[in-house]
Amino acid sequence: MARAHTAEATHGVDGGDGRRYRSGHSGSRARRAFGRWGGEGMWRRGWLLTTLAIVLTLAFYLHSEIPNSIGNLGSLWETFLPWGGVLIVPLLVLAVLRRSATALIALLLPTLVWVNLFGGLISDKTGTGGDLTVVTHNVNAGNTDPEGTARALVDSGADIIALEEVTGRSGPAYKRGLDRSHPYHKLTGTVGLWSKYPMKDIRPVDIKMGWPRAMRATVETPKGEVAVYAAHLPSVRVQFRAGFTAGQRDGSANALGEAIADEKADKVVLLGDLNGTMNDRALAPITSQMRSAQGAAGNGFGFTWPASSPMARIDQIMVKGADPVSAWTLPSTGSDHLPVGAKLNLTD
């Protein structure tokens, strides 16, 4: 009887239908798994991971306090701030492998802060309607197909098109491609505006570069006059010795912000390659007084650069006195930037 009982416990029991069922093993596996996680050990392990989670939380929450005195580190972090959420994933994996309940709970902190910062961008805020469609595109000085790029911009249905990095060689091609649909135009240095509606009060805007890379015009739309700025702020570089070199860009942002602050028009639209994201404190002279169309009426982050694998939105449509209805990125052209578009409501 003892042997029979042992055999039955080891090999299983008859379920009454001729099949035998193994017993005890699944429960043993669960108890072993819980035993590895359970007890005081799961709270004592993973303090290094917990510390890293707290540091990441502070980097998100206090991003504007990270100093720029060393290689503009603060602006560099803010440029790619949305991607900081990716750092949570390896910490989560390590916390699970380390079987640390403390680290797992600590990782809730950077997750919640990241969601608070960017959760609103993930949702689709696209609306319908709109009085004015605008598009801006850094067409790239080395673009080998300006004619195709111009056709793509015309096909977007934009009422106003701003171009940056127009060269002496490519300028005639863009004029040929855009003038028929957008007869009112002005090219100032390497930036230009093409409009379906009449333009006046056209002038360059001094952004402290020594040559024209920004301009301003009053566009007479069916819904009233709109001051439209087209701008291309200086490029930034990430260098091993110098860090994030953005001094000239920052000075130009200040100058552009001052020009917009002095603008007398009630409705203002800024189109251009600002070589910076909305999170970058260096653009505060601009972002503090204008709204991002993508942030207000887009779907997702709307990254624009580099076009082959976008990682940051440095091409912006910003407004003051107008309401964005929808915002989007256009398909890739021959440029290393993606074009961006927006529909705006000009009615008070």
Alpha-carbon gap, residue 237 to 56, rounded angstroms: 25
pLDDT at 73: 85
Domain residues for the domain of 81 are 38-122
For residues 96 and 42, what is the distance between their CA atoms, to the nearest angstrom? 10
What is the structure's pLDDT at 53? 98
* Per-residue pLDDT at 260: 98
Q: Are residues 147 and 183 in the same domain?
A: yes
Per-residue confidence (pLDDT) for residue 10, from 0 to 100: 45
Please, is 193 exposed, middle or buried when counting C-beta atoms within 10 Å of its C-beta (0-12, 13-18, 19+)?
Answer: buried
Q: Given this model, what pLDDT does residue 226 score?
A: 98
Q: 246: domain CATH number?
A: 3.60.10.10
Q: Which residues of the chain have pLDDT under 50?
A: 1-11, 13, 15-16, 21, 23, 30, 33-34, 240, 242-243
> Do 315 and 269 belong to one domain?
yes
What is the pLDDT at residue 74?
87
**In this structure, are 49 and 167 located in the same domain?**
no
List of E strands, 118-159: 132-138
Of 83, 103, 122, the last residue of a domain is: 122
Question: Sign of dihedral through CA atoms 84, 335, 249, 219?
Answer: negative
Residues 206 and 254 reside in one and the same domain: yes
Residues 92 and 173 in one domain: no
Same-domain check for residues 247 and 340: yes
> Is the domain of 192 the same as that of 325?
yes
Asked whether residue 171 falls in the same domain as residue 60, the answer is no
286 found inside a domain: yes
> Residue 321 falls within a domain, yes or no?
yes
Its pTM stands at: 0.84
Closest CA to 228 of 314, 155, 161, 151: 161
Per-residue confidence (pLDDT) for residue 348, from 0 to 100: 73
| Same-domain pairing of 170 and 263 | yes
Instruction: Judge contact between 285 and 256, C-beta under 8 A.
Output: yes
Question: Is residue 21 assigned to a domain?
Answer: no
pLDDT tens readout for residues 19-77 = 554 545 555 664 554 456 656 677 778 999 999 999 999 999 999 999 887 777 888 89
Number of domains forming the structure of the chain:
2
Query: Residues of the chain with pLDDT > 70: what percent?
Result: 85
Alpha-carbon torsion 66, 67, 71, 75, what sign? positive
Classify residue 8: in a domain, yes or no: no
**Domain endpoint, select from 93, 122, 151:** 122
Does some domain include residue 24? Answer: no
Beta-sheet pairing, 160-164 with 340-345: unpaired
- Are residues 156 and 230 part of one domain? yes
- 91 and 139 within one domain: no
In a domain, 30, yes or no: no
Domain end marker among 122, 152, 172: 122
26, part of any domain? no
Whether residues 260 and 311 fall in one domain: yes
Domain presence at residue 22: no
